[in-house]
């Protein structure tokens, strides 16, 4: 046999498995289409407050191609710790992978995926054309906003709220012409007594019970 | 289940616990941390006094039990080298290039199981380390890099030989430190060592600005410890263990897939015991090679793109797979949609992020490989009833042998060179390799029986790995034979390392399987690019035996099949580094082959198969 070729039956003469996986590595019914659609997820991470940690986390998300919507970071009651709130849009396996990759980084102390019930707010500053100040003010009042600057040509307002409120307000301002906009990204805490992401025994494997709880939380 | 406090065997604690035998202390520590042998250290008993940051860095390495360092001098790292001048415990091997320093340290880490240390100066020194650090990261090899940096007052000003080493190496290290406080240098180096060593091993880096290493400090390092927030898992969840054990016991077509984590976790014995106790066939990935002996009847050999036909068929057709210490790399799985599509997968890994990353785990078993195999053993309700499957496996082995012809009147076959070398050397011989066809032939035609004997670049696929890794392996294991298979293209990338092997008088052999081409690329061009051999063939290459002689090594030229054994024996007998320039059949290709992203079960055995895929 020339050129390193080897003996043996041809590919179509070999035993063949009947199953199939999808491209996320999940075994599926060969006839059924089973892919997880992307969904929005809110991750809250408690990290060591040290130089480079923001670069480390943002680098992690970009090099692993996680689709990131917003990332905010700020201090906590503990001077040594900072809290990051990250909104990503990924299929379910991607969200779990993002969470685990976050947990794996050394400065990351704990990560929790917050459910939709979480208290979440974003701050937005919008600069709109100022030709119709009364109408602009009416909308600002309607959305509990605050006028920060008003001149003959532009009006700048501040809004805070959850995603739906912000989206609705921006839709309403569209009619005047939005000149510029800046958004802070989401800050969020778990609702009620439930802690957000806390200093627990870190980096440990989840127990089955925890895995199940998270599965529920992920829905 | 998870201990919140770390317990390491510290020499000073051993002294305190005089009424306990040291064996007791070790067992207890092992039980609590899941640390394996590589976690046990041989640091100095007395705390040393230090005067500068550089001395603290050196003392931290000594305290950790480092013995050898691989590096290249340069401006910003000079204070650290100056501190090494007085060290009796550390031996420095001066390398010819920083890439070689990183690969040598990486190989040292693979062979010894504890972190290999490499040093380089700032700027180009640090960037030259990058390939080796990335290589270690892909293969979870324990490695610590110490880099010089320009003085802190210049950092950020684009100073001479300044590079943002932390920024450059952040994505390829397990963790890195910008050490900007002389009082903390010793602790940083110790922590970097501990992080490289514990949990899922990997590369760490400490960037050391020159003013910090020169600054006075009397902070001597403690025994290295990981940060208190770092707690690698040890034991898997008992409920999942029971379910997984039940699935394995009830399997009709069970298969054990042993990855590099088996070797890293010192779990080869546990894996062998488990497979033999429950009659489960075993395949090994490229980094897992040696964890299970290939001369055992249960061995189904190596798997993946150039794995054995029988091994890949076993993967494709198994119904339960116990996969230990693997990250399901694409070179192993091929097309993920066709990977073991009928199999429930029990995945053992110490890194939770590997679970269900590429292939969904039906039974996620997060923990130390040896511990979890022990848990599974305890939980197994019986032996799988898999007589038909074992017979099927044997049939495949007969149908798809790794075979070749080596007629005396034709050009030399690389497979024959590898097999002959294997036959004349002891089982514990360490085999290094570069990257390319020669690496695949070495992998396929060597009969692997021992862990930590296969030293190569798996995940990153770094050409040029062979020469420096042979140096690191020989320094790590001076009593074991070392042979390094290289290709002509790969050898030309790091051949300057020969000067180091000669200077250090290392008794090793480099076999260049010379086909005057970047052979794997040439094979792909023939297979997938219509034979358009762009930039893969060398119209002229140097004579490697003469290069060897010029470096002061012994050179051999090998062209005839009937001279193979005598040439190998002469090279082995030569006291010092030897290079065999083996002129092989330039048309030889590597089979079996699963094309990139292909179905493992459809591996090609010849060109006709490749065309049909």
Question: Which of B240, B341, B415 faces A208 most closely, judged by CB atoms?
Answer: B240
Does B146 lie in the same domain as B44? yes
Query: Do residues A206 and A161 touch, judged by C-beta distance below 8 A?
Result: no
* CB within 8 Å: B605 and A5: yes
ipTM of this complex: 0.84
First vs last Cα of chain B: how many Å apart? 50
User: What is the predicted pLDDT for the residue at B405?
Assistant: 83
The alpha carbon of residue A16 is apart from the nearest alpha carbon of chain B, in Å, by: 7
- The domain tally of chain B equals 3
Distances (CA, A) of B526 to A105, B441, B538: 43, 19, 16
Does B92 lie in the same domain as B56? yes
User: How many other β-carbons are positioned within 10 Å of the β-carbon of residue B293?
Assistant: 18
Question: Which of A27, A96, A203 faces B341 most closely, judged by CB atoms?
Answer: A27
Residue with tokens 């609705």: A168
User: How many other β-carbons are positioned within 10 Å of the β-carbon of residue B88?
Assistant: 6
Cβ–Cβ contact B36 with A under 8 A: no
Q: Copy the structure tokens of residue B279.
A: 């009659």
Query: Helix B268-277 to helix B369-379 angle, to the nearest 10 degrees?
Result: 20
The alpha carbon of residue A56 is apart from the nearest alpha carbon of chain B, in Å, by: 7
Q: What is the CATH number of the domain that holds B582?
A: 3.40.50.970
Instruction: Kindly report the backbone phi and psi dihedral angles of residue B323, in degrees, each rounded to the nearest multiple of 5, phi listed first.
Output: -105, 120
Q: What's the pLDDT band for A30 if we cut at 50, 70, 90?
A: low
* CB within 8 Å: A21 and B227: no
User: What is the span of the domain harbouring residue B546?
Assistant: 414-591
Contacting residues of B for A31, CB less than 8 Å apart? none
Q: Which residue in chain A is spatially nearest to B584 when comparing CA positions?
A: A3
The alpha carbon of residue A122 is apart from the nearest alpha carbon of chain B, in Å, by: 30
Angle at the Cα of A104 from the Cα atoms of A117 and B242, rounded to 5 degrees? 85
User: What is the predicted pLDDT for the residue at A33?
Assistant: 60
Q: Which residue in chain A is spatially nearest to B229 when comparing CA positions?
A: A202
Q: Which domains does chain A have, with CATH numbers?
A: 36-114 (3.30.70.260), 119-189 (3.30.70.1150)
**DSSP 8-state secondary structure symbol assigned to residue A86:** E
Does B490 lie in the same domain as B356? no
Cβ–Cβ contact B419 with A under 8 A: no
User: What is the predicted pLDDT for the residue at A197?
Assistant: 81
Q: Give the containing element (helix H, strand E) for B504.
A: none
Question: Which of A6, A22, A202 faces B337 most closely, judged by CB atoms?
Answer: A22
Q: Give the containing element (helix H, strand E) for B56.
A: helix B53-64
* CA count, 13 A, side-chain hemisphere, B211: 8
Q: What is the spatial distance between Cα B312 and Cα A189, in angstroms, rounded to a whole number?
A: 49
Does B125 lie in the same domain as B65? yes
* CB within 8 Å: B236 and A24: no
Q: Mean of the per-residue pLDDT values for chain A?
A: 88
Does B204 lie in the same domain as B89? yes
In a domain, B105, yes or no: yes
User: How many other β-carbons are positioned within 10 Å of the β-carbon of residue B378?
Assistant: 11
In a domain, B222, yes or no: no
Q: Copy the structure tokens of residue B588.
A: 């030889």
Q: Give the containing element (helix H, strand E) for B69.
A: strand B68-71
Please name the residue ranges forming H helices in B175-237: 185-197, 210-214
Q: Testing the interface with A: which of B5, B195, B605, B613 to mutate, by most A Cβ within 10 A? A: B605
Angle at the Cα of B278 from the Cα atoms of B275 and B284, rounded to 5 degrees? 20
Give residues 98 to 157 of A whose Cβ lies within 8 Å of B: 100-101, 103-106, 109
In a domain, B99, yes or no: yes
* CB within 8 Å: B338 and A207: no
In a domain, B297, yes or no: yes
Residues of B carrying an active site annotation = 98, 160-161, 210, 520
**Among candidates B474, B508, B578, which has minimal Cα distance to B111?**
B474
Q: How many helices and strands, by DSSP H and E, does chain B display? A: 25, 18
* CB within 8 Å: B601 and A14: yes
Does B123 lie in the same domain as B163? yes
The list of chain B residues with pLDDT below 70 reads 1-48
Distances (CA, A) of B590 to B297, B316, B444: 25, 21, 9
Contacting residues of A for B356, CB less than 8 Å apart? 25, 93, 96-97
In a domain, B228, yes or no: no
Contacting residues of A for B309, CB less than 8 Å apart? 6, 8
Q: What is the CATH number of the domain that holds B370?
A: 3.40.50.1220
* CB within 8 Å: B601 and A106: no
Query: Do residues A40 and B443 touch, judged by C-beta distance below 8 A?
Result: no
Cβ–Cβ contact A4 with B under 8 A: yes
Query: Do residues B439 and B396 touch, judged by C-beta distance below 8 A?
Result: no
According to DSSP, the residues that pair with B94 across neighbouring strands are: B71
First vs last Cα of chain A: how many Å apart? 57
Pairing of strands B282-284, B299-302: parallel
Contacting residues of A for B401, CB less than 8 Å apart? 6-8
CB-based contacts of A138: which residues, under 8 Å, 6+ apart? none
Does B373 lie in the same domain as B433? no
- Buried b / exposed e across B480-518, counting CB within 10 Å, b at 16+? bbbbbbbbbbbbbbbbbbbbbbbebebbbbbbbbbbbbb
Does B278 lie in the same domain as B192? no
The alpha carbon of residue A67 is apart from the nearest alpha carbon of chain B, in Å, by: 16
Cβ–Cβ contact A96 with B under 8 A: yes
Q: What is the spatial distance between Cα A131 and Cα A126, in angstroms, rounded to a whole number?
A: 15
User: What is the predicted pLDDT for the residue at A217?
Assistant: 43
Contacting residues of A for B227, CB less than 8 Å apart? 106
In a domain, B225, yes or no: no
In a domain, B25, yes or no: no
Instruction: Kindly report the backbone phi and psi dihedral angles of residue A100, in degrees, each rounded to the nearest multiple of 5, phi listed first.
Output: -70, -35
User: What is the predicted pLDDT for the residue at B442?
Assistant: 98
**DSSP 8-state secondary structure symbol assigned to residue B242:** H
Reduced to 3 states, what is the DSSP secondary structure of residue B44?
A: coil
Cβ–Cβ contact B570 with A under 8 A: no
**DSSP 8-state secondary structure symbol assigned to residue B228:** T
Q: Copy the structure tokens of residue B517.
A: 């081409």
More confident residue, B26 or A76: A76
DSSP assignment of B537-600 equals B-S----HHHHHHHHTSEEEEE--GGGHHHHHHHHHHSSS-EEEEEEB-TT----SB--TT--G
Query: Helix B437-445 to helix B519-528 angle, to the nearest 10 degrees?
Result: 100
User: What is the predicted pLDDT for the residue at B426?
Assistant: 98
* B509-514: strand order across its sheet: B454-455, B430-433, B482-487, B509-514, B578-583, B554-558
Contacting residues of A for B353, CB less than 8 Å apart? 97, 100-101, 103-104
SS3 labels along B436-496: CHHHHHHHHHCCCCCCCCEECCCCCCCCCCHHHHHHHHHHHCCCCCEEEEEEHHHHHHHHH
The alpha carbon of residue B478 is apart from the nearest alpha carbon of chain A, in Å, by: 35
Q: What is the pLDDT of residues A37-61, one digit of tens each?
A: 899 999 999 999 988 899 999 999 9
Contacting residues of B for A55, CB less than 8 Å apart? 167, 170
The alpha carbon of residue A192 is apart from the nearest alpha carbon of chain B, in Å, by: 27
Final residue of a structural domain among B158, B182, B214: B214
Q: Copy the structure tokens of residue A46.
A: 């408690």
Q: What is the spatial distance between Cα B96 and Cα B73, in angstroms, rounded to a whole number?
A: 10
Does B242 lie in the same domain as B169? no
Contacting residues of B for A4, CB less than 8 Å apart? 404, 415, 588-591
Contacting residues of A for B589, CB less than 8 Å apart? 3-5
In a domain, B409, yes or no: no
Does B568 lie in the same domain as B490? yes
Q: Give the containing element (helix H, strand E) for A113.
A: strand A108-114
User: What is the predicted pLDDT for the residue at B47?
Assistant: 59
Reduced to 3 states, what is the DSSP secondary structure of residue B269?
A: helix
Residue with tokens 């650090």: B133
User: What is the predicted pLDDT for the residue at B457?
Assistant: 98
Does B370 lie in the same domain as B434? no
User: What is the predicted pLDDT for the residue at B404?
Assistant: 87
Does B450 lie in the same domain as B571? yes
The alpha carbon of residue B52 is apart from the nearest alpha carbon of chain A, in Å, by: 24
CB-based contacts of B18: which residues, under 8 Å, 6+ apart? none
Q: Which residue in chain A is spatially nearest to B2 when comparing CA positions?
A: A204
Q: How many contacts (CB atoms, under 8 Å) link A and B? A: 166
* CB within 8 Å: A25 and B336: yes
């Amino acid at each position: 046999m020339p050129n390193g070729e080897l003996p043996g039956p041809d590919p179509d003469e070999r035993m063949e498995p009947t199953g199939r996986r999808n491209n996320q590595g999940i075994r599926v019914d060969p006839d059924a289409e089973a892919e997880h659609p992307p969904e929005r997820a809110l991750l809250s991470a408690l990290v060591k407050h040290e130089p480079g940690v923001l670069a480390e986390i943002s680098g992690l998300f970009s090099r692993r191609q996680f689709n990131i919507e917003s990332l905010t970071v700020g201090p906590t009651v503990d001077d040594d710790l900072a809290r990051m709130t990250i909104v990503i849009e990924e299929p379910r396996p991607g969200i779990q992978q993002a969470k685990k990759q976050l947990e794996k980084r050394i400065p990351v102390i704990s990560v929790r995926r917050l459910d939709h019930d979480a208290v979440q707010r974003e701050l937005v500053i919008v600069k709109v054309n100022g030709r119709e100040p009364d109408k602009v003010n009416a909308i600002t009042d309607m959305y509990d906003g605050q006028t920060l600057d008003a001149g003959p040509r532009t009006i700048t307002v501040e809004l805070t709220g959850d995603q739906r409120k912000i989206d609705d307000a921006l839709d309403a301002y569209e009619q005047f012409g939005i000149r510029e906009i800046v958004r802070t990204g989401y800050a969020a805490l778990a609702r009620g007594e439930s802690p957000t992401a806390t200093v627990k025994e870190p980096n440990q494997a989840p127990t089955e019970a925890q895995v199940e709880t998270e599965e529920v939380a992920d829905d | 289940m998870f201990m919140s406090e770390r317990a390491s065997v510290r020499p000073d604690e051993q002294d305190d616990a005089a009424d306990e035998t040291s064996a007791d202390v070790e067992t207890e520590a092992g039980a609590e941390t899941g640390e394996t042998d590589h976690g046990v250290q041989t640091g100095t008993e007395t705390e040393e006094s230090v005067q500068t940051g550089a001395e603290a860095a050196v003392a931290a390495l000594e305290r950790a039990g480092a013995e050898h360092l691989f590096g290249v001098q340069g401006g910003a790292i000079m204070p650290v080298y100056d501190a090494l001048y007085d060290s009796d415990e550390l031996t420095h091997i001066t390398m010819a290039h920083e890439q070689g320093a990183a690969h040598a340290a990486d190989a040292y880490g693979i062979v010894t199981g504890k972190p290999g240390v490499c040093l380089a100066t700032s700027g180009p020194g640090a960037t030259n380390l990058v390939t080796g650090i990335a290589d270690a990261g892909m293969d979870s090899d324990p490695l610590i890099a110490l880099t010089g940096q320009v003085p802190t007052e210049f950092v950020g000003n684009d100073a001479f030989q300044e590079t943002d080493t932390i920024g450059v190496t952040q994505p390829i290290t397990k963790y890195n430190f910008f050490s900007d406080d002389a009082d903390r240098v010793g602790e940083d180096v110790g922590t970097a060592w501990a992080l490289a060593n514990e949990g899922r091993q990997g590369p760490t880096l400490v960037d050391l600005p020159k003013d910090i290493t020169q600054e006075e400090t009397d902070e001597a390092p403690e025994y290295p410890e990981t940060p208190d927030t770092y707690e690698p898992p040890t034991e898997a969840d008992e409920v999942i263990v029971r379910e997984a054990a039940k699935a394995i016991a009830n399997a009709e077509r069970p298969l054990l897939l042993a990855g590099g984590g088996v070797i890293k976790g010192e779990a080869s014995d546990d894996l062998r015991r488990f497979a033999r106790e429950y009659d489960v066939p075993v395949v090994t990935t490229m980094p897992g090679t040696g964890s299970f002996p290939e001369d055992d009847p249960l061995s189904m050999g190596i798997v993946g793109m150039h794995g054995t036909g029988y091994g890949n068929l076993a993967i494709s057709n198994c119904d339960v797979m116990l996969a230990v210490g693997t990250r399901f790399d694409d070179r192993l799985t091929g097309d993920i949609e066709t990977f073991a599509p009928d199999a429930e997968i029990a995945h053992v890994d110490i890194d939770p992020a590997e679970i269900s990353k590429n292939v969904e785990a039906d039974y996620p078993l997060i923990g130390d490989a040896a511990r979890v195999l022990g848990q599974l053993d305890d939980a197994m309700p019986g032996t799988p009833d898999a007589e038909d499957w074992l017979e099927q496996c044997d049939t495949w082995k007969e149908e798809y042998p790794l075979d070749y012809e080596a007629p005396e009147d034709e050009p030399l076959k690389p497979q024959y060179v590898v097999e002959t070398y294997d036959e004349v050397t002891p089982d514990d011989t360490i085999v290094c390799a570069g990257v390319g066809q020669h690496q695949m032939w070495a992998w396929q035609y060597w009969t692997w029986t021992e862990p930590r004997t296969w030293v190569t670049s798996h995940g990153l696929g770094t050409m040029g790995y062979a020469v420096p890794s042979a140096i690191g392996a020989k320094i790590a294991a001076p009593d074991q034979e070392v042979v390094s298979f290289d290709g002509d293209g790969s050898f030309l990338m790091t051949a300057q390392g020969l000067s180091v092997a000669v200077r250090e008088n290392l008794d090793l052999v480099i076999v260049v399987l010379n086909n005057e081409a970047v052979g794997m690329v040439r094979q792909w061009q023939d297979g997938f690019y219509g034979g358009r051999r762009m930039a893969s063939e060398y119209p002229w290459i140097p004579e490697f035996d003469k290069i060897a002689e010029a470096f002061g090594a012994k050179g051999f030229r090998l062209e005839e099949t009937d001279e193979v054994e005598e040439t190998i024996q002469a090279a082995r007998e030569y006291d010092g580094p030897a290079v065999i320039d083996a002129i092989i059949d330039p048309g030889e290709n590597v089979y079996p082959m699963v094309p990139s992203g292909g179905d493992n079960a459809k591996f090609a055995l010849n060109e006709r198969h490749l065309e049909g895929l």
